[in-house]
Structure 1
Amino acid sequence: MLKSKEATQADAFQLVFRQPTAEDGYPLNKLVENSPPLDPNSVYCNLLQCTHFADTSVAVEEDGQLVGFISAYIPPAKPDTVFVWQVVVDKSQRGRGLAKRMMQEIVRRPACENVRYLETTITPDNDASWALFRSFARDMDTELNHHIWFEREAHFQGHHDCEALLRIGPFGQRA
């Protein structure tokens, strides 16, 4: 059971937004595995995301089941920025605005009190992610800038599409 004392919010769908714990590592791995075309990570990597990045990541559960997760962290060289590593929403929850609500939860966290920017990477053809981050930027009443950061040939040896770096902000502290 994933119920937690750290639960921060429940809504009409009985969703609980909370900081992840080590117990979320394996369910997160399965959620990503069942959500193609997301790139899977090892269970160990997911355990690190759920523990090392707990203050800046969010887990969402419904009836004790993990149905949404964002792994995010503050890069050491950019203390005013939270970097969203991966967003995953179970197919049962899609279309309800859950991903954007998870991002809003993260930027309101005490760990993000000095954050004025949100960054992520997206492949050029990932229309759903582009729409999500554009909508988030609109809601934050701020800019979205982007450029190719990791190139298909130079960084992925032709085995993965380019990744564009998106930078959203600046937005007000404690957004």
Structure 2
Amino acid sequence: MLRKPETTDGSAIWALVRECKPLDENSMYCNLIQADHFRDTCVVAEVDGEILGWISGHMIPNDDAFFVWQVAVSPKARGMGLGRKMLTHLIERDECGEAKALKTTITEDNDASWGLFRSFAKHVGGELTDEPHYHEEDHFDGHHDTEHMVTISLPEMDDDLAKAA
């Protein structure tokens, strides 16, 4: 079941993110705030009471774009298209209805994320572009690889596409 997170999901989300290396780990409090303040633009995938998937995101202020901060899929649920299903679910929500593009940042070596977002772009018929955005030296003081800003154009989705996700 895909649903909006509840505040009581914060610790389970935090544990899932920790299980999904190499994702950056936020504090449990950060995940609690995301599940509370940003619940309308985040999603959890729950099976038999266990959270197996999580996407945090938000609409970018003064931009017609939805930004995906983090995607986590439990090793128990990988290879089932859950990431793409959650992304499609999010962009179909009324809260993301104004988005003309989906944006995210990905390091060059994160093959799983590149695969997910390329698959999603193909699925929605959107164009994927990328460029270095947060630079290793300029923004991370050499402590983190450069993050590429990935932009996927979001054509109008019809009901058939949303169901096929």
Structure 1 contact 152–159 (Cα < 8 Å) conserved: yes
Q: Does 1:84 align with 2:68?
A: yes
Q: Does 1:107 align with 2:91?
A: yes
Cα deviations by residue, 1:109-146 (Å, 9 ceiling, x for unpaired): 01111111100000001111111101111111121111
Structure 1 counterpart of 2:129, from 136, 145, 154: 145
Following superposition of structure 1 onto structure 2, how do residues 23-172 of structure 1 map, counting pairs within 5 Å?
23-78=8-63, 80-172=64-156
Alpha-carbon distance in structure 1 between the residues aligned to 2:134 and 2:127: 21
Shift of 1:173: 6.1
Cα deviations by residue, 1:43-83 (Å, 9 ceiling, x for unpaired): 111011111111111111111011100001001121x2110
Percent of paired sites with the same residue: 45
Alpha-carbon distance in structure 1 between the residues aligned to 2:132 and 2:9: 32
Alpha-carbon distance in structure 1 between the residues aligned to 2:135 and 2:75: 30
Code of the aligned partner of 2:51: L
State the Cα RMSD in Å: 1.2
Alpha-carbon distance in structure 2 between the residues aligned to 1:141 and 1:155: 32
Name the structure 2 match of 1:20: 5
Structure 1 contact 84–120 (Cα < 8 Å) conserved: yes
Code of the aligned partner of 1:52: H
TM-score (norm: length of structure 1): 0.88
In the alignment, structure 2 segments of 5+ residues that lack a partner are: none
